[in-house]
């Protein structure tokens, strides 16, 4: 019979970091031709894809708003959805507009661009 790749991640959050740090994949034999291993593999891959999408969004948004992308990345990796919620509460608020000096997006409420450091009106 075929071998199916089962992902053993604990979901979104602390299990996600274990997914990257520990060997978390096992091969299981399917004895009755059932596709249970394939379903577990698909669910694990979907959870991984959601985590990656959340991380990419947090990094891009925190860089655009002048927040510490590295720190927020670690927080979201360790705490998963709770880290994302903490970021949404703590991130700099306001609409993003382009800086007239460097052209990168900055919060409209900031008098100083977080990217180039120039004072803008």
Three-class SS of the chain = CCEEEEECCCCCCHHHHHHHHCCCEEEEECCCCCCHHHHHHHHHHHHHHHHHHHHHHHHHHHHHCCCCHHHHHHHHHHHCHHHHHHHHHHCCCCCEEECCCCCCEEECCCCECCCCCCECC
Given this model, what pLDDT does residue 32 score? 55
Contact residues for 67 (Cβ-Cβ < 8 A; gap 6+): 91, 92
Predicted TM-score (pTM) above 0.95: no
The CA angle 95-97-101, to the nearest 5 degrees, is 150
Given this model, what pLDDT does residue 96 score? 83
How many CB atoms are closer than 10 A to CB 62? 20
Given this model, what pLDDT does residue 112 score? 84
Domain ranges in the chain are 3-90, 94-121
- Per residue of the chain (121 residues), what is the pLDDT tens digit? 333 333 333 344 555 544 544 444 444 444 555 556 777 888 888 888 888 899 999 999 888 887 788 888 899 888 888 989 999 998 878 788 888 888 888 888 888 888 788 888 6
């Amino acid at each position: 019979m075929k071998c199916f790749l089962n992902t053993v991640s604990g979901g979104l959050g602390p299990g996600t970091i274990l997914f990257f740090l520990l060997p978390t994949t096992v091969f299981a034999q399917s004895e009755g031709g059932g596709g249970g291993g394939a379903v577990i593999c698909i669910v694990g891959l979907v959870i991984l894809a959601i985590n990656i999408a959340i991380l990419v969004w947090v990094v891009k948004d925190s860089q655009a708003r002048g927040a510490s992308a590295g720190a927020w990345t670690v927080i979201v990796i360790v705490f998963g959805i709770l880290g994302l919620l903490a970021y949404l509460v703590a991130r700099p608020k306001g609409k993003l507009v382009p800086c007239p000096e460097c052209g990168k997006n900055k919060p409209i409420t900031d008098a100083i661009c977080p990217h180039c450091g120039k004072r803008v009106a």
